[in-house]
Amino acid sequence: MAFLADALSRVKPSATIAVTQKARELKAQGRDVIGLGAGEPDFDTPDNIKQAAIEAIKRGETKYPPVSGIQPLREAIAAKFKRENNLDYDWKQTIVGTGGKQILFNAFMATLNPGDEVVIPTPYWVSYPEMVAICGGTSVFAETKLEDGFKLQPEALEKAITPKTKWLIMNSPSNPSGAAYTGEELKALAEVLLKHPHVWVLTDDMYEHLTYGDFTFRTIAEVEPRLYERTLTMNGVSKAYAMTGWRIGYAAGPLALIKAMDMIQGQQTSGAATICQWAAVEALTGPQDFIARNKAIFQARRDLVVSMLNQANGISCPTPEGAFYVYPSCAGVIGRKAPSGKVIESDEDFVSELLEAEGVAVVHGSAFGLGPNFRISYATSEELLEEACRRIQRFTAELR
């Protein structure tokens, strides 16, 4: 009898974490490596948020919190949804988890039975299908295209839905593509969903505040109120507030679902760290002006990277609306020979040879379910990004 659970055979390790770890190891060996795999802002957590955590410690806010989160944070979350998304949730309809990952995991654990299907547009964040698999569900991939800006089209959604479909995951702005849906685009998808009342929507809005130019962020329950009763709206403080290590994610949705998620969390981790929750209260209720400053920096980095990548032989990079990733195609280099003598037959070959030859660590697109592409995180300095792009240009120029 095997000791390890069968579920482990259905799960692959995270490609993004693997690339980041590989870059760390090479750096430790003395290699000159620029790591562009990690999905976290390089900004520090704002001082007022840090101070709120310090004050919470001084007040003795160090005991077990309620499973679903402290009431001041849940009230701040409900107020945020009203203020920024025109969504009315009672604070009891909210839940706080240890990062967005736990929110997603709890939702799947609470709802998926063997054979239930989850529609996931490609390219997708690497953890979605693995979470679905662990929870006994089946992922159904709805492919998007570069010419559509990597956005799910209504006909592709319609085709993916079956009587077994339980969830559609909507991630906007997207990790890995940076694609963000307009209100009109969400409305068109909502029209399909309204024809299939058994399908729920899980919106991953983690990059909500990182959209560029004149783009206006919308979330699907806001655009189509008739979906409110079957939508779980998920967000967190990690990206916009540079709080990745604080591990606070949150969501709001129908009370019965929130209660089910609370029950699972109560037997799993219980409440998220109390001190981090008080820091998140300050994040959501305190000054927000630094978000616009950070956005401007990210936009300048995006424009730099898109411009330089489009000057690299065989690379085609669309301009994303949000997040801090680009998802260029490397189809133009497939079949060519690297300086090592290896023929590049896939995006995985491309990123492997790029790391070996030039010391630039990026993530291959097939890990996100759609290739031949690769993902670059531009959440690092312009100086490093410029050098990394120069190396990519040099590498592609040497392909034969």
| H helix runs in 329-381, sequence order | 347-358
Q: What are phi and psi of 324, to 5 degrees?
A: -135, 45
Distance CA 281, CA 285 (A): 6
* One fold for 6-44+290-397 and 63-285: no
Cβ contact 265:251 at 8 Å: no
Q: Which residues of 182-221 are buried (b: 16+ CB within 10 A; e: fewer)?
A: beebbebbbebbeeeeebbbbbbbbbbbbbbeeeebbbbb
Give 373's DSSP letter: B
Q: Where are the domains of the chain?
A: 6-44+290-397, 63-285
Give dist(CA 199, CA 168) in Å, integer. Answer: 7
Residue owning tokens 């709890």: 106
DSSP state of 338: P
Angstrom distance (rounded) from CA 1 to CA 253? 41
pLDDT of residue 296: 97
pLDDT at 12: 79
Pairing label, strands 374-377, 325-326: antiparallel
Per the CB < 8 A criterion, the answer to whether 364 and 371 are in contact is yes
pLDDT for 158: 98
Instruction: Supply the pLDDT for residue 18.
Output: 76
Q: Which amino acid is at 212?
A: Y
* Of 293, 297, 330, the residue nearest 312 (C-alpha): 330
Amino acid at 206: M
**Predicted TM-score of the model (pTM):** 0.95
Q: Torsion angle, CA of 308/309/315/319, rounded to 10 degrees?
A: -110
**10-residue mean pLDDT series, the chain (400 residues):** 85 77 84 88 96 98 98 98 98 98 98 97 96 96 95 98 98 98 98 98 98 97 98 97 97 98 97 98 97 97 98 97 98 95 94 93 94 96 97 96
8 Å CB contact between 199 and 166: yes
Closest CA to 176 of 211, 131, 124, 132: 124
The hierarchical CATH code for the domain 63-285 is 3.40.640.10
DSSP 3-state of 365: helix
How far is it, in rounded angstroms, from Cα 208 to Cα 321? 11
Q: Which CATH class is domain 6-44+290-397?
A: alpha beta
The DSSP string of 64-108 is PPPTT--HHHHHHHHHHHHHHH-----GGGEEEESHHHHHHHHHH
> Token pair of 400, please?
């034969």
Question: Which stretches does DSSP call E strand in the chain?
Answer: 34-35, 94-97, 117-122, 138-143, 165-171, 200-204, 231-236, 249-252, 325-326, 360-361, 363-364, 374-377
What pLDDT, on a 0 to 100 scale, did the predictor assign at position 7?
Answer: 82
Q: What is the DSSP string of 318-338?
A: ---SBTTEE--B-GGGTTPBP
Question: How does DSSP classify residue 63?
Answer: S
